[in-house]
Amino acid sequence: MRLYSLSVLYKGDAKAVLLKAAYDVSSFSFFQRSSVQEFMTFTSQLIVERSSKGSRASVKEQEYLCHVYVRNDSLAGVVIADNEYPSRVAFTLLEKVLDEFSRQVDRIDWPVGSPDTIQYAGLDGHLSRYQNPREADPMTKVQAELDETKIILHNTMESLLERGEKLDDLVSKSEVLGIQSKAFYKTARKQNSCCAVM
Amino acid sequence: MAETSEEVAVLVQRVVKDITNAFRRNPHITDRCHMHPATSKSRLYHCVERERCSRVCKMRKNQQRRLLGRKELILSGTLNPIKDLHLGKLALTKFPKSPETWIHRRWVLQQLIQETSLPSFVTKGSLGIIPAERTQQLIREEMEVCGEAAGRYPSNYNAWSHRIWVLQHLAKLDVKILLDELSSTKHWASLHVSDHSGFHYRQFLLKSLVSQTVTDGSILEQNTLRSEPAIVLPKDEEAVASAEESRINLPHLLEEEVEFSTDLIDSYPGHETLWCHRRHVFYLQHHLNGRFPHSVVQLSPADSPGGTLSDLHLIPAGPHTSQAMEVDGLSDSSKQGYSQETKRLKRTPAPDSLSLEMEHRFIDQVLSTCRNVEQARFANAYRKWLVTLSQ
């Protein structure tokens, strides 16, 4: 079971702003890594943009699960994991991270921040510690206060999109994805394995 | 590329030398990328092709032929089998599933154990018959290669079945190695809860341990997993004594595995693999409960089955000393089925009511606390299966 990325974003009116992110792409082959990272950023932003404030959701895409928590104050967190990683722990992690972030970074910096300007260094440590869910979070057999029935489940990324919107278009328009990543995506699509890069 | 077979031979030698040098300089090459392009395997393949098909003009990239070429190099003594294994290891970092690579690997290993005049197994005092140091090293290496490949691809059937093959053919299902494997793969399994092949491996280990420990006095257990009969146990007294010491506590092992399964099912809801695994372990447990050393049938058919079996295991029962089975507290006076146990589920006595009850309670607990739809489905399916077991 694995965590691949952990990001903090701000859900602006028009789009989601990436504030800080940590990645673990060690399981991907060397040449894929930068593209994978870009795709995870792209995905995280997209998910936050399509999720409403005060909601939690898990979006399934092939063997990945993206867990998102958008707070009422528009601060959002996304963790991208595999399908073995327990979602309960993922949401505990998100809660913890956003709580810590909001205490360390002034609210005024959120709407206009970027990974370079934001002063928050805890993400890498959290990501690495939570790789083993049982070490990071001594799991109680009793369910946490979190009501799992309120978590929205999406079976594909596509289900997040509006009618008529195509993932291909969003990919090609994206500012986050480099040329190589977009090319990878096209090839993967042709081979009928969407997001095989990820 | 060279035209004459002479030049090709030189080229082959040069490539092999390059590879050897690359390994010598960096014996810890772990990634294919690190290999100097000039010493890449493909060049070797092409050279060998050329040599074999000197009349053919076109380079063929058929992997079977490439491997055939490598086999020829090994048989002719040009390529050291150990080096070939190392090459294979690198290939697996990129293609962890590749069936041909695994098949070829087994061929090479067989060459290795056959070629040497040294025995693969030695007798080491009180430990009995164990694999020689060289064999142990090979086994360790293979375990590592399999482990890595398993990590690179989910439910890597080829890697895990290779691992099993190594245990069967190199390790000859040595009990200590089986036990080591059981404990060393535990952590990995807990982090790969949907890896069916990984859990199947644990089932194989447990099954092998069960069939080795439970041997009838007069009928040696036919282990269908092995091509050879069960290991003949030492007959002298000293060996018997130490065999008793190294006797494994099977029920305890199985109980631990059930606890492991419980822990994982609770922590990681909704994984069918875990429930599947539980079925296997439970079946092994109840299968074990239904089996007793032949000595029990021979010596005390009329005895109250409620008596402890702990003293029965010391009684030799026939030409071979049966390796006793510790069955503390598992005897159930309600079980009357000592006679003629067979492996078939239908003819084995029903699992004892206590363990069944515990399983049902476990299912109840899961169903009452889980909020995962899949988990509930699996729990109910497990319950249904338990019911069929007792019919």
- The confidence score (pLDDT) of residue B118 equals 64
pLDDT interval class at B324 (50, 70, 90): very low
Of B213 and B318, more confident = B213
Of B90 and A74, more confident = A74
Q: Which of B45-54, B141-150, B280-289 has the lowest average pLDDT?
A: B45-54
**Candidate from A83, A133, A141 with C-beta closest to B194:** A83
Cβ-Cβ contacts under 8 Å, B266 against chain A: 141
Q: How far is B219 from chain A (nearest CA, A)?
A: 45
Mutation test of the interface with chain A: which of B95, B263, B268, choosing the one with the most A Cβ atoms within 10 A? B268
Residue B366: how many CA atoms within 13 Å on its side-chain side?
A: 29
- Does the CB of A139 have a partner CB in chain B at under 8 Å? yes
pLDDT interval class at B84 (50, 70, 90): confident
Residue with tokens 């974003």: A9
Mutation test of the interface with chain B: which of A2, A26, A29, choosing the one with the most B Cβ atoms within 10 A? A29
- Does the CB of B33 have a partner CB in chain A at under 8 Å? yes
Alpha-carbon span A4 to B336, nearest angstrom: 55
- The confidence score (pLDDT) of residue B53 equals 40
Of B93 and B244, more confident = B93
Alpha-carbon span B341 to B214, nearest angstrom: 12
Q: Above 60 in pLDDT, residue B335? A: no
Q: How far is B50 from chain A (nearest CA, A)?
A: 32
Average pLDDT on B273-281 reads 96
In the 8-state DSSP scheme, what is residue A160?
A: G
Four-CA torsion A168, A170, A171, A175, nearest 10 degrees: 160
CA torsion sign, A26 to A28 to A29 to A33? negative
In the 8-state DSSP scheme, what is residue B244?
A: H
Q: How far is A1 from chain B (nearest CA, A)?
A: 5
What count of other Cβ atoms lies within 10 Å of the Cβ of residue B295? Answer: 21
Q: Above 80 in pLDDT, residue B276? A: yes
Cβ-Cβ contacts under 8 Å, A30 against chain B: 31, 33
User: What is this model's ipTM?
Assistant: 0.84
Alpha-carbon span B224 to B216, nearest angstrom: 15
Q: How far is B266 from chain A (nearest CA, A)?
A: 7
Cβ-Cβ contacts under 8 Å, B152 against chain A: 27
Q: Above 90 in pLDDT, residue B124? A: no
- The confidence score (pLDDT) of residue A55 equals 95
Decide if B191 and A86 are in contact by the 8 Å CB cutoff: no
- The confidence score (pLDDT) of residue B325 equals 34
- The confidence score (pLDDT) of residue B262 equals 96
Between chain A and chain B, how many beta carbons pairs sit less than 8 Å apart? 32
- The confidence score (pLDDT) of residue B182 equals 96
pLDDT interval class at B131 (50, 70, 90): confident
Mutation test of the interface with chain A: which of B199, B267, B271, choosing the one with the most A Cβ atoms within 10 A? B267
- The confidence score (pLDDT) of residue B23 equals 52
Cβ-Cβ contacts under 8 Å, A86 against chain B: 267-269
Helix-helix angle B250-267:B196-213, to 10 degrees: 160
Cβ-Cβ contacts under 8 Å, B271 against chain A: 84
DSSP B264-283: HHHHS-S-HHHHHHHHHHHH
pLDDT interval class at B340 (50, 70, 90): very low
Alpha helices in B96-174 (DSSP H): 99-115, 133-152, 157-169
Q: How far is A128 from chain B (nearest CA, A)?
A: 15
Q: Which of A108-112, A167-171, B171-175, B310-314 has the lowest average pLDDT?
A: B310-314
Of B52 and B299, more confident = B52
Q: Which of A170-179, B113-122, B244-253, B317-326 has the lowest average pLDDT?
A: B317-326
Pairing verdict, β A55-61 and B121-123? unpaired
Cβ-Cβ contacts under 8 Å, A27 against chain B: 152
Q: Among A66, A105, A62, A110, which Cα is nearest to A85's? A: A66
CA distances A128 to A3, A104, A123, B295, B382, Å, are 8, 20, 9, 56, 35
Average pLDDT on A162-176 reads 87
Contact (CB, 8 A) for B193 and B274:
yes
The whole-chain average pLDDT of chain A stands at: 88
Alpha-carbon span A128 to B95, nearest angstrom: 27
Q: Above 50 in pLDDT, residue A38? A: yes
Average pLDDT on B162-183 reads 94
pLDDT interval class at A185 (50, 70, 90): confident
- The confidence score (pLDDT) of residue B288 equals 75
Contact (CB, 8 A) for A70 and A79:
no
Q: Among B325, B42, B125, B128, which Cα is nearest to B210's? A: B325
Average pLDDT on B181-205 reads 96
DSSP A32-50: GHHHHHHHHHHHHHHHHHT
- The confidence score (pLDDT) of residue A182 equals 87
Mutation test of the interface with chain A: which of B195, B371, B373, choosing the one with the most A Cβ atoms within 10 A? B371
CA angle A153, A155, A157 (to 5 degrees): 105
Q: Which of A145-154, B15-24, B95-104, B283-292 has the lowest average pLDDT?
A: B15-24
- For residue A101 the two structure tokens come to 């972030």
Helix (H, G, I), strand (E, B) or coil at B308: coil
- Does the CB of A134 have a partner CB in chain B at under 8 Å? yes
- Does the CB of B269 have a partner CB in chain A at under 8 Å? yes
Q: What residue ranges in chain B does DSSP mark as E strands?
A: 121-123, 129-131
Contact (CB, 8 A) for B274 and B379:
no
Strand order across the A75-82 sheet: A16-23, A3-11, A75-82, A64-70, A55-61, A152-154
pLDDT interval class at B25 (50, 70, 90): low
Helix (H, G, I), strand (E, B) or coil at B119: coil
Nearest chain A residue to B194 by CA distance is A84
- The confidence score (pLDDT) of residue B371 equals 82
- The confidence score (pLDDT) of residue A137 equals 74
Decide if A1 and B191 are in contact by the 8 Å CB cutoff: yes
Which residues numbered 172-201 in B keep a CB inside 8 Å of some CB on A?
190-194
Decide if A63 and B268 are in contact by the 8 Å CB cutoff: no
- The confidence score (pLDDT) of residue B27 equals 52
Of A196 and B255, more confident = B255
A59-113 residue pLDDT tens: 998 889 999 999 999 999 999 999 999 998 999 999 999 999 999 999 999 999 9
Decide if A86 and B194 are in contact by the 8 Å CB cutoff: no
Residue with tokens 């079946």: B283
Average pLDDT on A167-189 reads 86
Alpha-carbon span B296 to B315, nearest angstrom: 9
Decide if A86 and B271 are in contact by the 8 Å CB cutoff: no
Rounded to 5 degrees, φ, ψ at B369 are -110, -15
- For residue A63 the two structure tokens come to 């063997």
CA torsion sign, B2 to B4 to B7 to B13? positive
Pairing verdict, β A55-61 and A152-154? parallel
Q: Among A150, A144, A167, A165, which Cα is nearest to A57's? A: A150
The whole-chain average pLDDT of chain B stands at: 70
Contact (CB, 8 A) for B188 and B147:
yes
Contact (CB, 8 A) for A1 and B154:
no
Contact (CB, 8 A) for A20 and A79:
no
Nearest chain A residue to B266 by CA distance is A141
B197-231 residue pLDDT tens: 999 999 999 999 998 876 533 333 333 334 444 44
Cβ-Cβ contacts under 8 Å, A133 against chain B: 267
Which residues numbered 18-57 in A keep a CB inside 8 Å of some CB on B?
27, 29-30
Q: Above 50 in pLDDT, residue A157? A: yes
- The confidence score (pLDDT) of residue B13 equals 58
Q: Above 70 in pLDDT, residue B92? A: yes
Residue B345: what residue type?
L
In the 8-state DSSP scheme, what is residue B370?
A: -
DSSP B319-360: SSPPPP---TTT--TT----SS--S-GGGSPPPPHHHHHHHH
Decide if B266 and A134 are in contact by the 8 Å CB cutoff: no
- Does the CB of B154 have a partner CB in chain A at under 8 Å? yes
Decide if B371 and A143 are in contact by the 8 Å CB cutoff: yes
% of chain B residues with pLDDT over 90 = 34
Cβ-Cβ contacts under 8 Å, B190 against chain A: 134
Average pLDDT on A12-24 reads 95
- The confidence score (pLDDT) of residue B354 equals 82
Contact (CB, 8 A) for A123 and A6:
yes
Average pLDDT on A153-179 reads 88
Of B269 and B18, more confident = B269
Computed over its alpha carbons, how large is the radius of gyration of chain B?
26
- The confidence score (pLDDT) of residue B74 equals 84
